[in-house]
Amino acid sequence: MATDTAGDPPPHDSVSSPRWHRMLPESVWGWLSITPVLLLYTIVALCPITFAVVASFHDVHLLNPEWTFVGLSNYAEVFQIDRFWGSMWRGVLFMIGSTLVQFVVGVWMALVIDSLSRTSRLVSTLVFTSYLVPTIVVTVVFEFMLDPYDGVVHAAGSSLGLWNNFLLGNTDLAMAAVVVISSWKFAAFVSLFTLAQLRSIPDRFYEAAQVCGATRWEQFRDITFPRIRGALAVVVFLRAIFMFNKYDVIWQLTEGGPGSATTTMPILAFKETFQMNAYGRGNAIAVIMFLVLFAGGVLYLRAMNPSQEVHT
Amino acid sequence: MSDADSLGRSVRLSFRHRNRLYRVGLSASAVVLVVLLGFPLYWMAANAVRTRLGVQDGGLLPAPDAVTLEQFAVITDPTVGQYLINSTIVTVGVVLTVLAISLVSGYGLARFEFPHKIAVARFLLLGYMFSPIVLSIPLYLIWDRLGLLNSYLGLILALSAISMPFSVWLMWKYIQTIPESAEASAWVAGASRWRAFVDIVIPQTKPAMIANAIFAFAIAWGDFTFAYVLMPNNDATTFPAGLFRLLGSQWDASWAEFMAMSLMLTLPPLVFAFFLQSYLLQGFKIRAL
């Protein structure tokens, strides 16, 4: 009888080293499994960034396949044009303004949804919708509402004396309008991020605090805030980075205008590349933006150390 | 201790009054939020079903004689129809690619030990820093040379890549919570690693797959930048870039028709937001790590 089973591996052994394990070592399987992602990153990110660096050292015209090596002169040019510093300044203004509005409104929405019992489904559905709705829908609807002839928000604003003509064509107010409209779309990100944290605080903490006679403010200060502080820091950081690189909402609303009133760095990069046909210079701006992002990304990983196992 | 003399107590109100104040503040906040978030959506829907004259009249509620569904006929316009087809193909492609890659890679990260695993996983997070505008400028010429400009494949690759950091991390973290014992007993019964993965692990990842699918949907359905730059041909482009071009063109369309198109683009997100919000929230919880 014993000889019958001798050919088969004992059951215990097959658990610790099943068949797949004998063909290739575990580390090879591990690397194979993440190859598709790494391949995708290489094609869509690493190659283009390398390509951008190379292109930024050349004078490239989009319709002309000839590349002329010009060294650092694209960068020298970029730093000299006053459009660049103006765009940098407006980009930072847009980043700080919209991050601030999104943060305040987003956290407020999260706290309200978390405290509501009956109507919270309505509010949270609206928040989720504004997160999932395409940006173009938001901008088309706001352009309609700001239309000087048929726009309901335009009618309200002008009858209150806030503005007279098309709001997005107003040099002084266009930036503020773009900040508000983009915050309508992106405050939801802050809300959902915060709400996920709020929901993970156990109810018994609040019940215990109520038994001890803590006011709502004290509950917020001593229970809620310490537990969402970390997430709030992360979300401010992510929003600031994303808003600094925001292209679509600004381009759809104003194309950087009127004049250059809403031309931020991404808008400038697009204009230089595809409207001024200075592909090399556009890539130089893209490389500068990437370096800003990369520095931000490294700081994020250093500060947050997001590699712990998940807690269940 | 003076720090403790905070809002609630320094203002000396009885519990009942404070409680009432809190309730009023909460209800007022909810009303303000519903109006701020809901009004643009309501206004879009209300004007999508109005006649051109009805749009000009304004009025918070559409007058009964100005209500019409004829604006939705805009979908039969060949240009608009093509945008919708393109958007659908690209979105389905991105969702399937993201699901396949995140399952395989998430499983690998969760179940295999290999050198530099944590370093690689953290490297994947740098994908959050991929900015569509920064990438699309160099990608434009690369795709042009590879013949991927104006092709579905090119756009699907680009959009899948920017969905990766979130989806792979979510799947990795999620599979860690699934006990390995069920798989192990399948191996004992003679199942291959692949069989056990397909029959035992994948069915259990359903919530994570739903969350990943919705996030990938949101990225692909709403993407403007990549589609605008990488699909310069009007027949190839997706809805967001196409709608933007229509808005700037001489196309004879009224606001009512634009609202009708916007409403059609908003319906899928609205349905997902209503029915699948708990999955999304779960995803955000893991994203916050």
User: pLDDT for B3-14, tens place per residue?
Assistant: 444 554 555 567
Inter-chain touch A44–B273, beta carbons under 8 Å: no
Residues B21 and B154 in one domain: no
How many H helices and E strands in chain B? 15, 0
**Banded pLDDT at A9 (limits 50, 70, 90):** very low
Candidates B103, B133, B246: best to mutate against A (most CBs of A within 10 A) is B133
Inter-chain touch A30–B55, beta carbons under 8 Å: no
Which stretch of A121-130, B97-106, B123-132, B156-165 has the lowest confidence by average pLDDT? B123-132
Domain that includes residue A191, residue range: 73-304
Inter-chain touch A137–B158, beta carbons under 8 Å: no
One-letter identity of residue A172: D
Confidence check: pLDDT of A312 > 70 = no
Residues B155 and B259 in one domain: yes
Q: Which residue among B30, B168, B221 sits closest to A116, beta carbon to beta carbon?
A: B30
Residues B154 and B129 in one domain: yes
Q: Which residue among A52, A126, A199 sits closest to B138, beta carbon to beta carbon?
A: A52
Check if the beta carbon of residue A33 is closer than 8 Å to that of residue B193. no
Between residues A286 and B64, the one the model is more confident about: A286
Q: Residues in chain B, how many?
A: 289
Confidence check: pLDDT of A310 > 50 = no
* Rounded Cα gap, residues A72 and B246, in angstroms: 40
What DSSP line would sit under A113-140, residue for residue? HHH-SSTHHHHHHHHHHHHHS-HHHHHH
Phi-psi region of B227 (alpha: psi -120 to 50; beta: other; left: phi over 0): alpha
Contact list in A for residue B164 (CB cut-off 8 A) is: 37, 40-41
Question: What does the pLDDT read at residue A309?
Answer: 36
Final residue of a domain: which of B70, B93, B119?
B70
Confidence check: pLDDT of B29 > 70 = yes
Contact list in A for residue B56 (CB cut-off 8 A) is: 149-150
Q: What is the number of other CB atoms lying within 10 angstroms of the CB of residue B72?
A: 15
Confidence check: pLDDT of A13 > 60 = no
Residues B149 and B206 in one domain: yes
pLDDT per residue as tens digits for the range A220-242 = 888 899 888 888 888 888 888 88
Confidence check: pLDDT of A172 > 90 = no
Inter-chain touch A33–B107, beta carbons under 8 Å: yes
**CATH of residue B100:** 1.10.3720.10
- What average pLDDT does the structure give for chain A? 83
Domain that includes residue B168, residue range: 72-287
A264 located within any domain: yes
Question: What does the pLDDT read at residue A203?
Answer: 86
Final residue of a domain: which of B39, B54, B70?
B70
pLDDT (average), residues A249-272: 90
Question: What does the pLDDT read at residue B7?
Answer: 52
In chain A, DSSP assigns E strands to 58-61, 64-69
Inter-chain touch A116–B26, beta carbons under 8 Å: yes
A1 located within any domain: no
Contact list in B for residue A118 (CB cut-off 8 A) is: none
**Banded pLDDT at B89 (limits 50, 70, 90):** very high
Confidence check: pLDDT of B91 > 50 = yes
A13 located within any domain: no
Q: Which residue among B222, B247, B269 sits closest to A129, beta carbon to beta carbon?
A: B269
Q: How far is A172 from chain B (nearest CA, A)?
A: 23
pLDDT (average), residues B25-49: 90
Question: What does the pLDDT read at residue A162?
Answer: 84
A52 located within any domain: no
Residues B101 and B211 in one domain: yes
A positions 248-267 inside 8 Å of B (CB): 248, 251-252, 266
Residues B64 and B48 in one domain: yes
Helix, strand, coil percent content, chain B, rounded in steps of 5: 80, 0, 20
**CATH of residue A283:** 1.10.3720.10
Helix, strand, coil percent content, chain A, rounded in steps of 5: 75, 5, 20
pLDDT per residue as tens digits for the range B251-276 = 667 888 889 999 999 999 999 888 88
Phi-psi region of A120 (alpha: psi -120 to 50; beta: other; left: phi over 0): alpha
Please give the tally of structural domains in chain A: 1
Residues B64 and B10 in one domain: yes
A14 located within any domain: no
A22 located within any domain: no
A67 located within any domain: no
Confidence check: pLDDT of A305 > 90 = no
* Rounded Cα gap, residues B232 and B236, in angstroms: 8
Residues B119 and B20 in one domain: no
Question: What does the pLDDT read at residue A11?
Answer: 42
**Banded pLDDT at A18 (limits 50, 70, 90):** low
Confidence check: pLDDT of A133 > 90 = yes
Inter-chain touch A125–B277, beta carbons under 8 Å: yes
- Asked if residue A25 has a cis previous peptide bond (ω within 30° of 0), the answer is no
Please give the tally of structural domains in chain B: 2
Question: What does the pLDDT read at residue A12?
Answer: 42
Residues B83 and B206 in one domain: yes
**Banded pLDDT at B2 (limits 50, 70, 90):** very low
pLDDT per residue as tens digits for the range B129-144 = 778 898 999 999 899 9
Q: How far is B193 from chain A (nearest CA, A)?
A: 7
Q: Does A274 touch chain B (CB under 8 A)?
A: yes
pLDDT (average), residues A259-277: 89
Inter-chain touch A36–B105, beta carbons under 8 Å: yes
How many beta-carbon pairs under 8 angstroms link A with B?
A: 323
Candidates B1, B107, B134: best to mutate against A (most CBs of A within 10 A) is B134
pLDDT (average), residues A164-173: 85
Residues B94 and B55 in one domain: no
Inter-chain touch A41–B247, beta carbons under 8 Å: no
pLDDT per residue as tens digits for the range B275-286 = 888 888 887 777
Residues B194 and B112 in one domain: yes
Contact list in B for residue A132 (CB cut-off 8 A) is: 214, 217-218, 221-222, 269-270, 272-273
Q: Which residue among B44, B101, B157 sits closest to A141, beta carbon to beta carbon?
A: B44
Give the chain A residue nearest B243 (alpha carbons): A136
Residues B30 and B137 in one domain: no
Confidence check: pLDDT of B75 > 90 = no
